[in-house]
Amino acid sequence: MLDKEAFCAQVMAHQDAMFRTAKAILRRDEDAEDAVQEAICAAYAARSALRDPERFKPWILRILTNKCYDACRRQRPTVDLDLVREYLPAPEPDHVENLALWQAVMTLSGDLRITVTLYYYDGLSIREISRILGISEAAVKTRLSRGRERLRRLLREE
């Protein structure tokens, strides 16, 4: 089992991926930071369940995504423009010529956004993503395909 020092070293090593994952789901920096903080505490309390430290990254990202979805559920009673936007067509950015990839990713719908982030930014496999998000591998592939096509249009790549 990881001791505190080893656990914290792992967290530091993956803190960028954690923030990116939370941001992809929650959109707002403040909410993402809160979710990361909650996930660190929850993961530390449950660290005896992690039998293979090599699997730390997908393990803590799954805990983090659960925290993010919990936060989404808590937020639902209030009408938040960001959440409403989830159900609306993504706005086309004004300047597509030099659009940063992350800007383009953030225009995707929530399901596509998190899947694309885990795959392209964090280098996770389709199987790992299916386990993190609790969806089938076929669903991951479908989301990736849709996300890729939308990014292709946004970034004007053929």
Partner 1 sequence: MDHFDELLRERARREPFPLPEDYAQRVQDTCAALEDRPPARRRSFRHWGGWLAAALALFVAVPNVSPAAAAAMAEIPVLGSLVEIVTFHRYAYDDGHSSADVTVPELSGGQAAQAVSDEVQAYTDRLLEEFQAQQETVGEGYQGLYVTSSVVTDTPEWFTLRIDATQTQASGYDFSRFYHIDKTTDETVVLADLFQEDADYAQVLSGEVQAQMASQTAADPAVMYFPEQLAIPADQSFYWNETGDLVLVFDEYAVAPGSMGMPEFTIPREVYAPLLRTP
Evaluate whether 55 touches 11 at the Cβ level (below 8 Å): no
Q: Can you tell me the distance from the alpha carbon of 111 to that of 96, in angstroms, rounded to the nearest whole number? A: 22
Please report how close the Cβ of residue 91 comes to partner 1 at its closest, in angstroms: 19
Instruction: Please report, as ranges, the residues that interact with partner 1 according to CB under 8 A.
Output: 1, 3-4, 7-8, 11-12, 15-16, 19-20, 29, 33, 36-37, 40-52, 55, 59, 62-63, 66, 100-102, 120-121, 123, 127, 130-131, 134-142, 148, 151-152, 157
Q: Can you tell me the distance from the alpha carbon of 61 to that of 11, in angstroms, rounded to the nearest whole number? A: 11
Question: What are the CA-CA distances from residue 10 to residues 49, 102, 142 (Å)?
Answer: 15, 24, 31
Q: Can you tell me the distance from the alpha carbon of 79 to that of 95, in angstroms, rounded to the nearest whole number? A: 29
Please report how close the Cβ of residue 58 comes to partner 1 at its closest, in angstroms: 8
Instruction: Report the residue number, 90 or 106, with the smaller CB distance to partner 1.
Output: 106
Instruction: Report the residue number, 80 or 137, with the smaller CB distance to partner 1.
Output: 137
